[in-house]
Amino acid sequence: MVCSALLGFAVAASLASVLAEFNPLHHSGPASPYFDAPSQLGISTETPDGCVVDQAAYILRHGSRYPEPGSFAGWQALFNKFQGASYTARGPLAFIPSWTPPIDDPPHEPLFLTSTGAGEAFALGVDLRKRYGFTKGGDGLTVWAASQQRVLDTASYFLHGYLSQGNYLTNTSLNRGTTISLPDSVNFTFANSLTSSNSCPLYPTGDKSALANTFRATYQSNIAKRLNHFLNGLTLNATDIGPMQDLCGFQTEVNGDSRFCDVFQTSEWLDYEYAHDLNYYYGSGPGNPFSATTGFPWLKAVTDLFALGPNKTTPTGTFTPPPLLMSFTHDNNIPPVLSALGLWNESFVSPLSPTHPDPRRHFHASYLVSFFGHIALERLSCGPPMPDMVKHVVGQIVPVPGKGSNTKKFVRVRINNAPVPIPGCTSGPGSSCSLQQFEQYVNVNRAKASGDFVTRCGLQNVKNASSTLNFFTNLPLNSAIQLPLP
């Protein structure tokens, strides 16, 4: 009965979202600027009454970047096509004779963080400092990041937003951020990585993301045919459509020009979105049988730290991590954590159809791997809500609900800020899961479903291969980047 009610709510929510004003930037997959995902089951984003978050862990994609060199080559080819013919353009394409690619420093911009991405990271730092109140003035913060420059830069701008207050130039031990840089795209770190799929030799054998290209072939030529009615002397073809749709999100992020967003119809954006859904679902998400395997070590490490509580370390640890665990990585390293958690993989729409989008699906790449997309786990400490009448005794601060001695612990998951329930465990405040049940869910149910990293990846005979992620409590040598924050 509950499942039927939730399904009915999901369908109603999908219909409501279609009827609302359509925003292509919320349907552009990995080219989407960051936005808070809509509530899928009506759960409030507010911390439940009587609760505080005493520990949180985030795994995030870097902020918005300039295009990869391959994508930029596609933009250049499109520009050359627009400039290499004499033609007349009208209607939604009237701007293309004057359009130029939004790159003005080609040797240095592709692949790197944009100013928008820097702003996104800084703003999240400010938001989480205010939201959680974990860090008092003067304290520092350690975060973890994959080692490509755009990821390190995202971590840097986040730290500046999180810690920027006061003036500690005369004391360099205060108000400092430290980024632990973890090797990127290597095969020797195994599970102890923020890019662990690179260390799983069998991972590529489960990648069926080519299904996205098959789906694109069903609609791109039709779009080109429609748009050619607005051109006289120039003919678009199917291969032009992908770069043009990508430019809606990318160019909006780079220089604020959103004219490509107005070129396409709602149904065409929904097809574009679904192609990205197929790419991530079957490439690095639940449709890849090795996805959960590579995402589970991060989930297991966070669960173990939640079981210990904030400001504690494991018995074998050499470092006590902060209550806010920030992991910065790439888009394809976010879906494996979703898979490990067993979320967005409902039986009635899974696996995703390669040909027919189901509006009831929860898996939307735009909600997960947008620029600065993230999965967050929050440990809630909950007590009775504050009563309407509160008595104050001179000199005695009344404890905030959730911070007293008689509290219970719960866990909830946010995906791009929207709370998402743990399957079969929603009886806590705000549809959260009790910490004890969450531990059981991860250590038994999800451990079995995900499998052992070394075994599943075929690494049994590889020296030093490990299924454990321990970088939160055992800092790698020579990997810290300290940021002076004036």
| pLDDT tens digits, 324-378 | 999 999 999 999 999 999 999 877 788 999 999 999 899 999 999 999 999 999 9
Mean pLDDT, rounded, for 418-442: 96
* pLDDT above 90 coverage of the chain, percent: 78
Domain(s) labelled CATH 3.40.50.1240 in the chain stretch across: 29-65+114-185+290-386+396-486
- Count other C-beta atoms under 10 Å from residue 80's C-beta: 10
| pLDDT score of 5 more than 80 | no
Interatomic CA distance for residues 124 and 126, integer angstroms: 5
Tell me the pairing of strands 374-382 and 480-483: unpaired
| Options 27, 276, 331, 364, the catalytic residue | 331
Residue 396 banded pLDDT, cuts 50, 70, 90: confident
The residue ranking higher by pLDDT, 350 or 473, is 473
The H or E element spanning position 381 is: strand 374-382
| pLDDT of amino acid 486 | 44
Residue 151 banded pLDDT, cuts 50, 70, 90: very high
| pLDDT tens digits, 204-223 | 999 999 999 999 999 999 99
Mean pLDDT, rounded, for 414-418: 97
| pLDDT of amino acid 197 | 95
| pLDDT of amino acid 478 | 65
Q: Which two tokens stand for residue 302?
A: 């966070």
CATH, domain range 29-65+114-185+290-386+396-486: 3.40.50.1240
Residue 14 banded pLDDT, cuts 50, 70, 90: very low
In the 3-class helix/strand/coil scheme, how is 317-379 assigned residue by residue? CCCCCCCEEEEEECHHHCHHHHHHHCCCCCCCCCCCCCCCCCCCCCCCHHHHCCCCCEEEEEE
pTM exceeding 0.85: yes
Contacts of 43 (CB under 8 A, 6+ apart): 418, 419, 420, 421, 430, 431
| pLDDT tens digits, 110-137 | 889 999 999 999 999 999 999 999 999 8
| pLDDT tens digits, 237-279 | 999 999 999 999 999 999 999 999 999 999 999 999 999 999 9
CA 309 centroid distance within chain: 24
| Maximal CA-CA distance, the chain | 83
State yes or no: is 331 an active-site residue.
Answer: yes
Unique residue bearing structure tokens 């070394």: 454
Unique residue bearing structure tokens 């008092």: 136
The residue ranking higher by pLDDT, 445 or 346, is 445
Burial string for 417-452 (b: 16+ CB within 10 Å, else e) reads bbbbbbeebbebbbbbbbbebbbebbeeebbeebbb
| pLDDT of amino acid 384 | 85
| pLDDT score of 387 more than 90 | no
The residue ranking higher by pLDDT, 134 or 165, is 134
| Options 27, 62, 330, 364, the catalytic residue | 62
Residue 47 banded pLDDT, cuts 50, 70, 90: very high
| pLDDT score of 477 more than 80 | no
| pLDDT of amino acid 166 | 74
Residue 17 banded pLDDT, cuts 50, 70, 90: very low
| pLDDT score of 453 more than 60 | yes
| pLDDT of amino acid 1 | 38
Interatomic CA distance for residues 418 and 438, integer angstroms: 19
Residue 10 banded pLDDT, cuts 50, 70, 90: very low
Unique residue bearing structure tokens 């065409």: 268
